[in-house]
Amino acid sequence: MSTPTSVTVPGPAVPVRALEIQSRLRLAATWALIKPYWKSEDRKAGLGLLAFVVALNLGIVYINVLLNEWNRVFYNALEQHDYAAFKTLLIRFSWIAAFFIVAAISRQYYTMMLQMRWRTWMTGRFMDHWLGHQAYYRIEQTHATDNPDQRIADDLRSFTDGALTLSLGLLNSVVTLVSFVGILWSVSGPISFALGGGEIVIPGYMVWFAVGYAVIGSLVAHLVGRPLIGLSFQQEQYEADFRFTLVRLRENSEPVALYRGEPTEKAGLGARFGRIRANWNQLMRYTRRLTFVNSGYSQFAIIFPLIVAAPRYFAGKMTLGGLMQMSSAFGQVQGALSWFVDSYSTLVGWKAAANRLIDFQEAIRIAERQDQEHTGVRDIEVVSTDDASIRLDALALALPTPRRSSSAQAALVAPFSLTIAPGERWLVNGPSGCGKSVLVRALAGIWPYGSGTVELPRAARMLFLPQRSYLPIGTLADALAYPDAGTAHSSERLQQVLRETRLGQLTGQLDVLDNWSLRLSPGEQQRLAFARALLQKPDFLVLDEATSALDEDTEAAMYELVVGALPRSAIISVAHRSTVARFHDKRLRYLPADGVDGQGLAPAVSYRVVHEA
């Protein structure tokens, strides 16, 4: 067996144009993402917590004002060798520090509480829309967005945490600026210099120095760091792709081991991690530049006010306490004006998460509107009726084809009509790839591609058994009863259907928590699906190659079981084996289509469907 040296990972690297799009601010869409929670049913609790956190922030700013005044008095006492005042001021500082600690701890605690409330509400909202209208299925069919699990789990957390951190930081900066700009104005005093034979006087000159310093720093930081938004967007995508591939390998460990596919898997994982590393290298370069700007900016800000104020101090126009108060006030004003610079790294990560959520939300909205991009065929209409039968009226099936594509293979099956009445037994067969599973999806009402109408009984229960059934992670009882909860049926009934489907060895494990899709063999999983049908007693049972992993004897036993237990249920089976034909009295056969399109180049449809008794 040859060992592959490289694997091409599907999908090219994100081009420069896409990186520019991902780096856009998209302010209106971001605000539309923020606003709904504050108008929701949870808004009272959220606004109450927000008001309390804001009050704590204002209290901390007030404490900083007290500390600034304390600096002036304290350093003047040191300069005057006033020991009594020194002791009094230390006691005052202890009280101020104690209040500061209590306020800081409370602010952190209640901010985290608000973050979780907001995240909980947004997670519920996204989950409702993602699962509603089966948007999760349609998004996967059209690949409208990548890794929705990561966007719900990680991006929502980053978005809510970052939104509160940044907004409260901005509020704190504004209040700090308002509180300290007057102090800095009065303490710094005017500065005068000769210009053109006259004297220019600038009152509160340190305020203007702080403003100019912050503006220049903000502009430089944005110019240097803006590409980080798009790079952070891509990093989240590549990390999620790599993590998904690892999970998929774990869930398919047995077939990979049987194929001896470890070298190929290792190469594929290495290629995906290579994307992470390449994007990370770009992040490193831009982060290094931004860190250089931020570090230089913050370090020089320490000595900048001392340098500017030094002439007045050494001229005897300012006391040591006044110098320290002015330095402290300048730091507060400059820090408030530098919110953009200091928060830029956080802002970049938050904006990348917001952009990913905006794209995900738009994909969900498109899926909800069934606004899929396909050519030549209108959407299948699904109608709920009071009739007891399933009716297909002029149903034509197609494949999803992008609107820009000129492919003539969008149409798959020519229009046909069919009625499936309760108690009927239908066998659907035809060549592999002809669209039999597409018909199953249309019967389920989840396949919009094509035309015609699917009328489904409103009161009827339908159960679909695909070739590989879905088994949720949980107890065996939950996996057996899905989509019902395991507690919806008695243990005796669950054990009974397990024995009837030749799974008696599992009767003692109903309360065992496990990943049953990995624990059970394909044949056991298919027998578990038949046990599920016995539990739920559907009006319509649709089996899509549901016995492909069973031997003929077990297959016959399963069919005899459901036919006997569900005499009034309609059974529709998609199967290749002729052995299941004796359990059905009607047949739906896929045959190659006759005729060509208008230009005589290719068949207008690939297959036609005929009914046989």
State the SS3 of 98-114. Answer: HHHHHHHHHHHHHHHHH
Q: For the chain, what is the radius of gyration of the CA atoms? A: 35
Closest by CA to 570, choosing from 468, 467, 462, is 462
Whether the Cβ atoms of residue 436 and residue 609 lie closer than 8 Å to each other: no
Same domain for 396 and 333: no
Same domain for 295 and 213: yes
Q: With 70 as the cut, is the pLDDT of residue 20 above it?
A: no
Same domain for 250 and 304: yes
Same domain for 151 and 172: yes
Q: How many domains does the chain have?
A: 2
Q: Please give, one letter per residue, the 3-state secondary structure of 267-313.
A: HHHHHHHHHHHHHHHHHHHHHHHHHHHHHHHHHHHHHHHHHHHHHHH
Decide if 600 is inside a domain.
yes
Classify the C-alpha dihedral 551-552-553-559 as positive or negative.
Answer: positive
| Lowest mean pLDDT, pick from 97-111, 361-375, 385-399, 572-586 | 361-375
Q: With 80 as the cut, is the pLDDT of residue 12 above it?
A: no
* Residue 292 confidence (pLDDT): 82
In this predicted model, what pLDDT tens digit does every residue of 184-207 receive, in sequence order?
777 776 666 666 666 777 777 777
Residue 581 sits in a domain of what CATH number?
3.40.50.300
Q: Point out the domain boundary residue: 318, 342, 368.
A: 368
pTM: 0.64
| Lowest mean pLDDT, pick from 180-184, 219-223, 277-281, 398-402 | 398-402
Residue 184 sits in a domain of what CATH number?
1.20.1560.10
Residue numbers of the domain that contains 594: 381-471+520-612
* Residue 492 confidence (pLDDT): 94
Structure-model confidence comparison of residues 492 and 219, the more confident one: 492
Residues 17 and 230: their CA atoms lie apart, in Å, by 10
Q: How far is C-alpha 183 from the chain's CA centre?
A: 46
Decide if 74 is inside a domain.
yes
| Mean pLDDT confidence for 44-66 | 91
Band of the pLDDT at 103, cuts 50, 70, 90? very high
| Mean pLDDT confidence for 538-549 | 92
User: Residue 361 corresponds to which amino acid?
Assistant: Q
Q: Which is it for strands 390-398 and 411-420: parallel, antiparallel or unpaired?
A: antiparallel
Burial of 159 (0-12, 13-18, 19+ CB in 10 A): buried
Decide if 253 is inside a domain.
yes
Residues 263 and 133: their CA atoms lie apart, in Å, by 41
pLDDT, mean over the chain: 81
Decide if 503 is inside a domain.
no
Burial of 242 (0-12, 13-18, 19+ CB in 10 A): middle
Same domain for 536 and 424: yes
Decide if 486 is inside a domain.
no
Same domain for 387 and 345: no
Same domain for 554 and 406: yes
* Residue 599 confidence (pLDDT): 41
Residues 507 and 41: their CA atoms lie apart, in Å, by 45
Decide if 35 is inside a domain.
yes
Same domain for 340 and 259: yes
Decide if 29 is inside a domain.
yes
Decide if 572 is inside a domain.
yes
Hey, which residues does 570 pair with through a beta bridge? 540
Same domain for 323 and 389: no
A 10 A CB-CB count for 80 gives 13
Closest by CA to 337, choosing from 211, 486, 203, 248, is 211
Q: Which of 205-209, 226-230, 417-421 has the highest mean pLDDT?
A: 417-421
Same domain for 456 and 336: no
Structure-model confidence comparison of residues 249 and 539, the more confident one: 539
* Residue 144 confidence (pLDDT): 67
Q: Point out the domain boundary residue: 368, 403, 435.
A: 368
Same domain for 325 and 442: no
* Residue 325 confidence (pLDDT): 73
Q: Is 386 helix (H, G, I), strand (E, B) or coil?
A: coil
| Lowest mean pLDDT, pick from 147-156, 240-249, 299-308 | 299-308
Q: Point out the domain boundary residue: 347, 368, 389.
A: 368
Same domain for 318 and 248: yes
